[in-house]
Amino acid sequence: MAKQGFMNSNNLGIMQGRLVNSPNKKIQCFPAKEWKKEFGLANRNNFRLIEWTVNRHNLYLNPLLHLNKLKEIQKEKKKFNIRIDSLTCDYFMETAFFLEKNNSKREKIIKNLKKLVKHSQFLNIKFFIIPLVDGTSIKSKAHENQIIKLTKKILPLIKKNAFILFETDYKPNKIRNFIKKFNNSKVRINYEKGNSASLGISFDEEKKYYDLIKNVHIKDRKFKGKTVRLGLGNAKLKKIINFFKKKKYKGNFILKTARNKQNFHIHEINLNRDYILQL
């Protein structure tokens, strides 16, 4: 796939683990045994961009957590000509820091998050994504305050031209107000229409915070339903892609699509890529 047009091989990537089997049968999980294999698969299928992911499951098997293993990641990046611009930290969502009552456990989570931020920047990862959706949606002012407090502990570690991006299921106006509370240009938004489509939130409202978006996940979901193949849900992706094109968006798009039930992962990803490129 040649680099051309608004969306191309340089800015259309995949979420880590989508080209291989999931180690815990979930839709998204770090492939501890096959992460190196996936670099080769990505290269052979004309992808040049992977978004790394960190989960509670197999946390300490993730080389990103170990300073002495970062060279392994660099080696695979160089060998297969793959960039890693962003990190989705599902670990934060799965541990639910702001719900943790045990002080020692909470401090351990903070320690791991700081380590991930530091190590990410050795690899020139620019976007550190914290999801606050589904089971870890913000439910109270106290939760929100805890998240802001934690983020302020991490922000001094964020280098120039790098960002913490939140992905939340807040309604559009509330999202903008939430980001404003940090009063810091390094805190911005990771946009994912799939989740908001499942909640019935209109893109006409979401586009009002376009100026805060630094990274985009491409996913489709049914209203009040699960993730599905692109075009089979309620995300209205054509309208979104046209808007981003009109705005001359220069960031990345990451395919975070449904898995194939028969484990034909490469076939599924290529179907979804073809669909989004046709839009």
CATH code at 98? 3.20.20.150
Q: 236-272, pLDDT tens digit by residue?
A: 999 999 999 999 999 999 999 999 989 999 999 999 9
Burial category of 183 from C-beta neighbours within 10 Å (exposed 0-12, middle 13-18, buried 19 and up): exposed
Tell which residue, 234, 193, 219, has the closest CA to residue 275: 219
> Mapping DSSP to helix (H, G, I), strand (E, B) and coil, where does residue 133 land?
coil
Q: How much is the average pLDDT of 22-37? A: 92
pLDDT of 177 higher than 60: yes
Does residue 4 lie in a domain region?
no
Segment holding 147, helix H or strand E: helix 141-154
- Quote the number of domains for the chain: 1
Residue 189: inside a domain, yes or no? yes
In a domain? residue 3:
no
181 pLDDT more than 60: yes
Instruction: Taking residues 135-149, report their average pLDDT.
Output: 85
Ranges 23-37, 53-67, 127-141: which has the least confidence: 127-141
CA distance 248 to 49: 20
Q: Is the model's pLDDT at 21 over the cut of 80?
A: yes
Percentage of residues in the chain having pLDDT higher than 70 = 97
Q: How many Å separate Cα 248 from the centre of its chain?
A: 21
d(CA 176, CA 212): 8
Q: Which residues share a beta bridge with 131?
A: 167
Q: Say if 81 falls within a structural domain.
A: yes
Strand 213-218 relative to strand 187-192, pairing:
parallel
| Predicted confidence (pLDDT) per residue in 79-90, tens digit | 999 999 999 999
Measured CA to CA, the distance from residue 164 to residue 87 in angstroms comes to 10
pLDDT of residue 109: 85
Q: What contacts 116, CB < 8 A, 6 or more positions away?
A: 54, 64, 65, 87, 89, 91, 128
Is 1 among the domain residues? no
What predicted TM-score, i.e. pTM, was given to this entire model?
A: 0.94
- The pLDDT mean for the chain works out to 92
- What values do phi and psi take at 278, rounded to 5? -70, -25
pLDDT for the residue 4: 56
Q: What is the domain range of residue 266?
A: 12-278
Let me know if residue 51 belongs to a domain. yes
Tell me the average pLDDT across 101-130: 89
Q: Does some domain include residue 2?
A: no
